[in-house]
């Protein structure tokens, strides 16, 4: 910090000092990012969280046990009975491979950690990496100060915490890191224009493709940026070097991932990149010719080349259009379509719509997830616009698109969060920059104050430290061509260059931006308060809101803390009390957990690749008991598992999800009609409920014997008394109900083996035989 006060004479020492300082700050940021995500482990225990992580955990176990080649062609017969599922070909292997490699490395170092532990702590580790990657990216965009600020912000942005607390072992945990590092490498290549970074960029993109389906965001965003640059006439051969190899290598690498495969060239999520690839070649040709020709000849050339280029482009576009039209669903998979057209999913794919994280977010959720950043983002955008460089234009594009996508789907807040962090990091650092400088120019004495204020948000210190490095950057981005090369030379030269620039510049700034002292001090204080508020909010979110592993629940009540461990209780019961190859039917949310924790075969699970199968289960759940029994028996299901929160007030139970079962089931089997379950348009389970509702299987299984608890069967989730209190099950029998009734397991009764007519006959026969017994008292000769 003292470096900030140093005069410009010994700038080298100061700069070295600043770099070391920033290094330590980065280290601290990493620690912060890691440790803020450990609340879940501290408050609960080191468990895998909700649903998908359990699948990933299971896959990782398989990988560590059987090796990678078995993993590639692993056909899982424990799920989607009787279809089964080809895991190796349908899963994004990045997360699994990462954790598996971590585990292997640790074991080879004789650090005996269990696979589960490694899985639990993968997400925090990668969030630390992600914050460092953010630093690098923002540094490329707007210098180190902004980088540090952005890194700090990202280290504790709630929406990212929500997906990467210890134990939430999900693709996004590593995907965000991959996303940011890919963007960083792209920008880096764009700035340096070296093939080396282009290669790294392609590899990072490969990692992203391995990790998450969201890679289409990258492969669409980067071409958009390239197109933007071309259109705004900022084409440079660095752009070509940054883009063209990425497309070729990236496409090849992407098609190496089994789950993507040939989609990388066949589906139209990727066509944009190819189109831009062609365009950039045309443009490159144009620029080249322009370069080697004289002006007047170029006039002539333009006419020809442009016309030819146009022809070529039109042809290619026509081809692409044809391809898109030919490919199914216009070549766009359902999720991408629901991205472009927010109402698409709810219209066509109830499965996608049924997932809460695919719903559009609400404004409070914005505030909850990226608290004050929401206000800082516009400032950041403005800061990016002056001066506009390739990198900053990319950042702007990134924020704009991600804002749109996050508006479509809640889970894409995750993509939006890094952009917001970068933007607000830029904004904060610029603001601090301006204020501190104005203070410094007015009275150099108090400049210690700024540092004292700035001390809270550890970033601002380095903002002060590197403020001199920034203006020349911002200026060299103004007229890039000459100044670019400075970055290639040694630091000395950079500093030298920046020295005189800064000195010349600072003279200007004396006149230019001088704010009144009080104003700047107050503004600084306000900014610090803002940051403090942000930190408080993030810590609260990490501690309270996002660290609950929905497998173990707690509730505070007047008489202390209650822990509901019913899920694991139920799964343990299944694991210990049922045959190994029994089939358990439940709604698909619980499929992964059942296979992972109870090791039983399930009918449907959370990767919803077969809508019909899920619809079958939904139909069974929403049909009357006998029909349901027949459906389940045809799937030779032995046990049915329902989740019921009515006793303890656990809101996300099957009764609340029931309408989705009806919709999904009705989507395939039209005899299930949603209106039958709604009493004049509203969903109710009390005495006003429709008879269809009261007789459907889900209702019966949920409320069976519920009235015995309190005399009147009061559902604490729906806050009402249930409509049908005394329920009699004929085809199912209750075999297990957990302590708080949250999971109830029923067994299908074996089919009745005689029908009435036969029983009557057999009765007469028995009577006859008995009479005959009387008549034949003696022993009969068996030989006659």
Partner 1 sequence: MARSTSKDAQALFQSLRSAYVATPSSLKIIDLYVCFAVFTAIIQVVYMAVVGSFPFNSFLSGVLSCVGTAVLAVCLRIQVNKENKEFKDLPPERAFADFVLCNLVLHLVIMNFLG
Partner 2 sequence: MARSLAGFLVLILAISICDAASIFQPISDSHRSAALDLFKPVDGSFASLEETYEALRTFEILGINKKPDVSTATCGTVSKALSSSSSTPKDLFDALRVNSILKCKINAEVFEGIISKLQAAVSGASSLHDFYYSIGSLGLIKDQTSKADLHLSDAEGIFRSIKALSQSDGRWRYSSNNPESSTIAAGVALETLAGVVSLASSEVDQSMIGIVQNDIMKLFDSIEKYDDGAFYFDEKVVNVHEHSGPLSTSSSVVRGLTAFTTVATGSLNLPGDKILGLAKFFLGIGIPGDSKDFFNQIDSLAFLESNRVSIPLILSLPSTVVSLTKKENLMVKVNTVLGSKAPPLTVKLVRAYSTSSKDTSIIENKELSFDPERVVYFLDALPDSVDVGSYIFVFKVVLHDSERKDVYVTGTLTHVQIFLTGHVKIGNAEIAVLDNDLGTIETQRKLDLAGENAVSLSANHLQKLHLSFQLTTPRGSAFKPHQAFLKLRHETKVEHVFLVGNSGKKFEITLDFLGLVEKLFYLSGKYDIQLTVGDAVMENSLLSEIGYVELDLPEAPEKAPRPPPQAVDPYSRYGPKAEISHIFRAPEKRPPKELSFTFLGLILLPFIGFLIGLLRLGVNLKNFPTSSVPATFAILFHVGIAAVLLLYVLFWLKLDLFTTLKTLSFLGVFLMFVGHRILSHLASASSKLKSG
Positions touching partner 1 (CB under 8 A) are 193-196, 198-199, 202-203, 236-238, 240-241, 244-245, 248-249, 251-253, 255-256, 262, 265, 284, 289, 291-294, 297, 300-301, 303-304, 481, 484-485, 488-489
Draw the binding track, 14-53, toward partner 2 (x: CB under 8 A; -: no contact). ----------------------------------------
Confirm or reject binding of residue 753 to partner 2 (CB under 8 A): no
Please tell me the distance from the alpha carbon of residue 543 to that of residue 535, in angstroms, as a whole number: 12
Confirm or reject binding of residue 761 to partner 2 (CB under 8 A): yes
Chosen from partner 1, partner 2, none, partner binding at 256 (C-beta under 5 to 8 Å by type): partner 1
CB of 81 to partner 2, least distance (A): 19
**Strand pairing category for 75-76 and 601-602:** unpaired
Among residue numbers 56 through 75, which ones bind partner 2 (CB under 8 A)?
Answer: 69
Instruction: Look up residue 1 and give its DSSP letter.
Output: -
Please tell me the distance from the alpha carbon of residue 308 to that of residue 548, in angstroms, as a whole number: 61
In 3D space, the residue among 137, 164, 271 whose CA is nearest the CA of residue 216 turns out to be 271
Q: Does residue 124 contact residue 37 with C-beta atoms inside 8 Å?
A: yes
CB of 178 to partner 1, least distance (A): 18
Chosen from partner 1, partner 2, none, partner binding at 195 (C-beta under 5 to 8 Å by type): partner 1
Please tell me the distance from the alpha carbon of residue 494 to that of residue 472, in angstroms, as a whole number: 9
Please tell me the distance from the alpha carbon of residue 156 to that of residue 151, in angstroms, as a whole number: 9
CB of 196 to partner 2, least distance (A): 12
Judged by CB under 8 A, which stretch of 96-104, 376-384, 683-691, 770-778 contacts partner 2? 770-778
Residue among 201 and 692 whose Cβ is closer to partner 1: 201
Residue among 196 and 533 whose Cβ is closer to partner 2: 196
Confirm or reject binding of residue 754 to partner 2 (CB under 8 A): no
Instruction: Look up residue 387 and give its DSSP letter.
Output: T
Residue among 194 and 327 whose Cβ is closer to partner 1: 194
Chosen from partner 1, partner 2, none, partner binding at 778 (C-beta under 5 to 8 Å by type): partner 2
For 451-468, letters b (16+ CB in 10 Å) and e give bebbeebbbbbbbbbbbb
Nearest 5°: CA angle at 713, between 708 and 714?
A: 140
What are the strands, taking DSSP E only, across 409-547?
A: none
Residue 780, SS3 per DSSP: coil
Asked if omega into 82 is within 30° of 0 (cis), the reply is: yes
Confirm or reject binding of residue 557 to partner 2 (CB under 8 A): no
How would you list the strands of the sheet with 601-602, edge to edge? 601-602, 583-585, 639-643, 743-748, 732-737
Residue among 261 and 445 whose Cβ is closer to partner 2: 261
Residue among 248 and 386 whose Cβ is closer to partner 1: 248
Q: Does residue 453 contact residue 531 with C-beta atoms inside 8 Å?
A: no
CB of 240 to partner 1, least distance (A): 7
Residue among 363 and 783 whose Cβ is closer to partner 2: 783
Residue among 26 and 241 whose Cβ is closer to partner 1: 241
Residue among 728 and 784 whose Cβ is closer to partner 2: 784
Chosen from partner 1, partner 2, none, partner binding at 251 (C-beta under 5 to 8 Å by type): partner 1
CB of 89 to partner 1, least distance (A): 14
Burial grade of 714 (CB within 10 A; 0-12, 13-18, 19 or more): middle
CB of 771 to partner 2, least distance (A): 8
Among 364, 511, 753, 783, binds partner 2 (CB under 8 A): 783
Q: Does residue 370 contact residue 420 with C-beta atoms inside 8 Å?
A: yes
Confirm or reject binding of residue 756 to partner 2 (CB under 8 A): no
Confirm or reject binding of residue 768 to partner 2 (CB under 8 A): yes
Please tell me the distance from the alpha carbon of residue 272 to that of residue 250, in angstroms, as a whole number: 14
CB of 72 to partner 2, least distance (A): 10
DSSP annotation string for 160-217: HHHHHSTT---HHHHHHHHHHHHHHHHHHHHHH--HHHHHHHHHHHHHHHHH-TTHHH
Q: How far is CA 757 from the centre of its chain?
A: 60
Residue among 472 and 589 whose Cβ is closer to partner 1: 472
How many residues form the binding site for partner 2 (CB under 8 A)?
16
Number of H helices, E strands in the chain: 36, 11
The two three-digit tokens of residue 350, written as one number = 């109830």
Chosen from partner 1, partner 2, none, partner binding at 194 (C-beta under 5 to 8 Å by type): partner 1
Nearest 5°: CA angle at 402, between 401 and 405?
A: 90
Please tell me the distance from the alpha carbon of residue 565 to that of residue 553, in angstroms, as a whole number: 7
Judged by CB under 8 A, which stretch of 142-150, 330-338, 620-628, 773-781 contacts partner 2? 773-781
Q: Does residue 610 contact residue 617 with C-beta atoms inside 8 Å?
A: no
Residue among 228 and 293 whose Cβ is closer to partner 1: 293
Residue among 446 and 768 whose Cβ is closer to partner 2: 768
Chosen from partner 2, partner 1, none, partner binding at 363 (C-beta under 5 to 8 Å by type): none
Chosen from partner 1, partner 2, none, partner binding at 196 (C-beta under 5 to 8 Å by type): partner 1
Q: Does residue 687 contact residue 721 with C-beta atoms inside 8 Å?
A: yes
Residue among 259 and 539 whose Cβ is closer to partner 2: 259
Give residues in contact with partner 2 (CB under 8 A).
Answer: 69, 760-761, 764-765, 768-769, 772, 775-776, 778-781, 783-784
């Amino acid at each position: 910090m003292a470096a900030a006060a140093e005069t410009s004479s010994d700038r080298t020492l100061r700069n070295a000092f600043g770099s070391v300082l920033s290094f330590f700050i980065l280290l601290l940021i990493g620690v912060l990012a890691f440790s803020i995500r450990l609340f879940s482990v501290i408050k609960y225990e080191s468990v895998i969280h909700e649903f998908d992580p359990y699948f990933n955990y299971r896959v990782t176990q398989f990988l560590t046990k059987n090796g990678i080649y078995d993993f590639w062609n692993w056909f899982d017969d424990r799920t989607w009975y009787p279809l089964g599922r080809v895991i190796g070909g349908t899963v994004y292997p990045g997360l699994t491979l990462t954790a598996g490699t971590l585990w292997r490395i640790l074991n080879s170092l004789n650090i005996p950690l269990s696979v589960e532990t490694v899985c639990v702590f993968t997400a925090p580790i990668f969030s630390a990496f992600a914050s460092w990657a953010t630093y690098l990216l923002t540094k490329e965009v707007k210098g180190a100060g902004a980088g540090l600020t952005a890194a700090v912000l990202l280290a504790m942005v709630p929406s990212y915490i929500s997906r990467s607390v210890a134990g939430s072992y999900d693709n996004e945990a590593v995907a965000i890191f991959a996303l940011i590092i890919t963007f960083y490498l792209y920008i880096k290549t764009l700035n340096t224009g070296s093939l080396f970074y282009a290669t790294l960029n392609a590899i990072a993109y490969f990692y992203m493709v391995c990790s998450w389906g969201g890679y289409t965001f990258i492969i669409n965003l980067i071409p958009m940026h390239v197109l933007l640059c071309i259109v705004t006439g900022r084409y440079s051969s660095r752009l070509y070097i940054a883009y063209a190899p990425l497309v070729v290598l990236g496409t090849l690498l992407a098609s190496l991932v089994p789950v993507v495969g040939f989609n990388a060239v066949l589906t139209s999520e990727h066509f944009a990149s190819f189109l831009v690839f062609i365009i950039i070649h045309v443009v490159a040709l144009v620029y080249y010719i322009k370069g080697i020709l004289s002006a007047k000849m170029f006039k002539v050339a333009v006419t020809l080349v442009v016309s030819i280029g146009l022809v070529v482009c039109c042809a290619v576009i026509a081809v692409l259009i044809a391809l898109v039209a030919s490919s199914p669903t216009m070549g766009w998979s359902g999720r991408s379509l629901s991205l472009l057209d927010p109402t698409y999913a709810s219209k066509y794919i109830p499965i996608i719509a049924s997932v809460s994280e695919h719903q559009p977010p609400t404004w409070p959720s914005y505030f909850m997830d990226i608290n004050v950043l929401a206000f800082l983002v516009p400032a950041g955008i403005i800061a990016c616009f002056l001066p506009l460089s390739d990198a900053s234009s990319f950042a702007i594009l990134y924020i704009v698109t991600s804002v749109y996508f996050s508006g479509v789907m809640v889970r894409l807040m995750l993509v939006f969060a890094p952009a917001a962090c970068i933007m607000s990091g830029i904004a904060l650092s610029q603001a601090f920059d301006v204020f501190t400088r104005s203070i410094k120019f007015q009275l150099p004495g108090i400049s210690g104050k700024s540092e004292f204020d700035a001390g809270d948000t550890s970033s601002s210190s380095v903002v002060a430290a590197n403020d001199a490095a920034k203006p020349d950057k911002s200026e060299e981005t103004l007229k890039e061509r000459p100044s670019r090369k400075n970055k290639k030379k040694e630091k000395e030269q950079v500093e030298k260059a920046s020295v005189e620039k800064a000195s010349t510049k600072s003279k200007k700034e004396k006149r230019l931006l001088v704010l009144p002292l009080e104003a700047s001090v107050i503004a600084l204080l306000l900014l610090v308060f803002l940051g403090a508020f942000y930190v408080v909010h993030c810590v609260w979110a990490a501690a309270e809101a996002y660290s609950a592993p929905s497998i173990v629940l707690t509730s505070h009540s007047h008489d202390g803390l209650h822990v509901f461990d019913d899920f694991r209780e139920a799964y343990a019961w299944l694991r210990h009390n049922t045959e190994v190859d029994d089939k358990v039917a439940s709604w698909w949310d619980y499929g992964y957990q059942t296979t992972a924790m109870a090791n039983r075969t399930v009918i449907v699970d959370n990767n919803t690749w077969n809508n019909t199968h899920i619809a079958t289960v939904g139909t069974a759940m929403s049909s009357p008991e006998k029909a349901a029994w027949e459906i389940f028996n045809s799937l030779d299901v032995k046990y049915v598992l329902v989740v019921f929160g009515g006793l303890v007030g656990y809101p996300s139970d099957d009764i609340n999800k029931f309408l989705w079962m009806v919709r999904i089931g009705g989507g395939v089997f039209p005899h299930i009609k949603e209106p039958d379950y709604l009493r004049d348009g509203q969903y109710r389970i009390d005495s006003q409920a429709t008879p269809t509702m009261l007789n459907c299987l889900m209702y019966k299984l949920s409320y069976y014997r519920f009235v015995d608890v309190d005399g009147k069967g009061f559902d604490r989730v729906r806050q009402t008394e249930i409509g049908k209190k005394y329920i009699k099950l004929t085809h199912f029998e209750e075999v297990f109900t957990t302590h708080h009734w949250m999971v109830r397991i029923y067994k299908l009764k074996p089919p009745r083996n005689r029908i009435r007519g036969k029983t009557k006959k057999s009765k007469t026969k028995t009577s006859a035989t008995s009479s005959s017994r009387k008549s034949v008292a003696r022993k009969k000769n068996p030989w006659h």
